[in-house]
């Protein structure tokens, strides 16, 4: 690995949020320092503000994510496949598979074989599904973890489509299930569906915004039988991976 000192900005312009990681590399792993700025909701002025903020630092900028090509002043624009590999190798040593559940898609990267799979065809396996249900319940999606662990039972929810899931949710509420129980049911069916797609592995690095839903993490652990590791700053992994990539390449 490169030994040079540098400060690099990793920008992850995802489909739902924009993330910025400013990382100071001092040469040794032990001296690795990072500073994270909050992720901001796309689209609109805040997005441009984030880019401006990055540019004003005058540090090298590495852009990744769905909208990476919009950063015309980026030194490099690696794909999320590359940045996920960099970040997982650094923050989750020994991981076999990286699972990234974002706002609009879900990505699997098998680090052993380098196989990569993307599912962006169906919103039911992404953060958009939770955002949709959260807005129906008028609660922030960030409450989905707490609500999950408040419920002691949950209904079976089988719909694989976001639109049909809503009518199923309404039916379960009419059956007498509470909102907490329905949320637990949703986390459960979501986690079960995703677990079926995960290649057999011992150690799974779970990243992306949905990794902050601890209910989903618990279900994935149970259903895959793997050790599921959610790195700190899991939603910023691709931004961090971009900075690491830049440090090696520039
Ligand atoms: P992208 O990179 O595609 O923009 P992210 O990886 O930033 O997506 O993930 C965004 C999704 O993460 C949102 O759609 C939301 O459902 C989910 N999310 C973000 N924070 C939390 C949280 N604290 N708890 C549960 N879900 C969350």
State which ligand 1 atom lies nearest to the alpha carbon of 16: 4
Q: How far is the CA of 78 from the centre of ligand 1 (A)?
A: 21
Cα(16) to centroid(ligand 1), Å: 7
> Tell me: the pLDDT tens digits for 105-118?
999 999 999 999 88
State the distance from the centre of ligand 1 to the C-alpha of 133, rounded, in angstroms: 13
Q: In this model, does residue 169 exceed pLDDT 80?
A: yes
Q: What angle do CA 151, 207, 193 make, to 5 degrees?
A: 55
φ, ψ of residue 69 to 5 degrees: the values are: -70, -10
Q: Is residue 127 within 6 Å of ligand 1 at its C-beta? A: yes
- Residue 104 Cβ contacting ligand 1 at under 6 Å: yes
pLDDT at 150 over 80: yes
125 lines ligand 1 (CB under 6 A): no
C-beta atoms surrounding 83 within 10 Å: 28
Map tokens 């089988």 to a residue.
Answer: 158
CA of 139 to the centre of ligand 1 (A): 14
Those residues whose C-beta lies under 8 Å from the C-beta of residue 127, and which sit 6 or more positions away, are 16, 101, 102, 103, 104, 141, 208, 209, 210
Cβ(55)–Cβ(61) below 8 Å: yes
Q: Whose CA is nearest to atom 15 of ligand 1?
A: 127
What is 130-199 written as a DSSP string? HHHHHHHHTS-GGGHHHHHHH-S--------SHHHHHHHHHHHHHTT--HHHHHHHHHHHHHHHHHHHSP
CB-CB contact of 145 with 214 (8 Å): yes
CB 196 within 8 A of CB 224: no
Say if residues 62 and 242 touch (Cβ distance below 8 Å).
Answer: yes
Given a cut of 60, whether residue 43 has pLDDT beyond it is: no
Percentage of residues in the chain having pLDDT higher than 70: 89
Cβ atoms of residues 141 and 214 within 8 Å: no
Residue 30 binned pLDDT confidence (cut-offs 50, 70, 90): very low
Q: Which of 28, 25, 23 is nearest to 10 (CA)?
A: 23
Question: Residue 61: its pLDDT value, please?
Answer: 97
Question: Average of pLDDT values for 216-229?
Answer: 97
């Amino acid at each position: 690995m490169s030994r040079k000192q540098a400060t690099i900005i990793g920008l992850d312009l995802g489909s739902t949020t924009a993330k910025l990681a400013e990382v100071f590399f001092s040469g040794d792993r032990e001296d690795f320092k990072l500073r994270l700025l909050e992720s901001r909701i796309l689209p609109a002025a805040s997005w441009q503000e984030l880019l401006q903020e990055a540019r004003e630092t005058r540090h090298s900028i590495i852009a990744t994510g769905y909208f990476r090509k919009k950063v015309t002043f980026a030194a490099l624009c690696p794909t999320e496949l590359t940045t996920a590999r960099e970040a997982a190798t650094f923050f989750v040593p020994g991981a076999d598979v990286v699972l990234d559940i974002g706002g609009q898609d879900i990505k699997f990267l098998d680090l052993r074989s380098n196989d990569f799979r993307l599912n962006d065809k169906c919103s039911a396996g992404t953060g958009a599904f939770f955002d949709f249900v959260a807005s129906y319940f008028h609660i922030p999606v960030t409450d989905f973890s707490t609500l999950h662990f408040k419920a002691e039972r949950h209904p079976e929810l089988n719909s694989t489509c976001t639109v049909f899931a809503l009518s199923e949710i309404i039916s379960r509420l009419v059956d007498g299930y509470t909102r907490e129980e329905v949320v637990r049911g949703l986390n459960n069916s979501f986690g079960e569906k995703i677990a079926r797609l995960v290649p057999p592995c011992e150690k799974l690095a779970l990243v992306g915004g949905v990794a902050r839903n601890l209910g989903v993490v618990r279900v994935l652990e149970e259903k895959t039988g793997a050790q599921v590791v959610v790195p700190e700053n899991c939603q910023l992994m691709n931004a961090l991976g971009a900075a690491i990539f830049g440090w090696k390449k520039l």
